[in-house]
């Protein structure tokens, strides 16, 4: 495999995961994969799953791609795309076993809150695309945004809160390491599709 960066034939229709990966395995999606620390760790410890890393910054995506090639991982695909569009347009119904959304931009100024990823429409798309029993794992250092995420997920009545997934140090994102070094508290949650 020359590159893990995937470019769909068109950017309007849902993807065929078996065609993207060359076989049917459970799909996990890392939204905002950054420098790839969690993504690479997860793909190595769960080789029986396929992983999609979504990132808007091409420079970051290319760095992750190099790490994927060095590690020889065949169960990762990377897409440069905006997360909301990706989930609403390219992810098929009932096809994702887990989403990992770690440290989404909190847009802390009130006038920017409309730019936040977690809104009712996005929560609905997460529900639509998850398999039965599929989960959404979330982490944030911003207590205000974390509270909003919990509220959106629970009030949707489409998800049930579960104990958060614990991750080893090697799975930490660069943001998590930076926040921990600053002495910040990390908030984690896990939500399972409730039907």
Residues 9-58: tens digit of each pLDDT: 989 999 999 999 988 899 999 999 999 999 999 999 999 999 999 999 99
Q: Encoding tokens for residue 90?
A: 């390219």
Q: In what order do the strands lie in the sheet with 187-193?
A: 76-80, 50-55, 27-31, 96-102, 130-140, 187-193, 159-162
Identify whether the C-beta of residue 191 lies closer than 8 Å to the C-beta of residue 136.
yes
Q: Tell me, what's the pLDDT at 110?
A: 78
Amino acid 166: pLDDT: 84
Mean per-residue pLDDT for 61-65? Answer: 95
Sign of the Cα pseudo-torsion (145, 27, 36, 135, in order): positive
pLDDT in tens, 126-169: 999 999 999 999 999 999 999 999 999 999 999 999 999 888 98
Q: How far, in Å, are 71, 148, 173 from residue 140 at the CA level?
A: 28, 11, 11
Angstrom distance (rounded) from CA 182 to CA 173: 14
User: Within 10 Å of residue 143's Cβ, how many Cβ atoms?
Assistant: 12
- In angstroms, the CA 25 to CA 75 distance is 9
Nearest CA to 186 out of 149, 153, 142, 151 is that of 142
Q: What percent of the chain has pLDDT over 90?
A: 77
Can you name the residues that pair with 192 across neighbouring β-strands? 135, 160
pLDDT at 175 over 90: no
Alpha helices, H only, 25-165: 37-45, 58-71, 83-85, 120-129, 143-155
Show the domains of the chain with their CATH numbers: 24-106+117-193 (3.40.50.150)
Query: Residue 1: which pLDDT band, with cuts at 50, 70 and 90?
Result: low
């Amino acid at each position: 495999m020359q590159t893990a960066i995937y470019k769909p034939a068109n950017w309007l229709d849902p993807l065929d995961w078996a065609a993207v990966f060359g076989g049917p395995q459970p799909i996990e999606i890392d939204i905002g994969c950054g420098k790839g620390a969690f993504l690479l760790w997860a793909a190595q410890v769960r080789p029986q799953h396929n992983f999609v890393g979504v990132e808007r910054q091409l420079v970051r995506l290319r760095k992750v791609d190099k790490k994927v090639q060095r590690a020889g991982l065949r169960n990762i695909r990377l897409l440069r795309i905006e997360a909301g569009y990706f989930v609403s347009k390219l992810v098929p119904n009932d096809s994702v076993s887990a989403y990992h959304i770690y440290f989404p931009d909190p847009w802390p100024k009130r006038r920017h809150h409309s730019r936040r990823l977690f809104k009712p429409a996005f929560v609905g798309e997460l529900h639509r695309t998850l398999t039965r029993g599929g989960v959404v794992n979330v982490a944030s250092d911003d207590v205000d945004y974390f509270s909003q995420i919990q509220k959106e997920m629970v009030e949707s009545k489409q998800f049930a809160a579960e104990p958060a997934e614990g991750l080893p140090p090697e799975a930490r994102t660069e943001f998590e390491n930076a926040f921990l070094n600053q002495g910040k508290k990390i908030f984690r949650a896990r939500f399972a599709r409730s039907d």
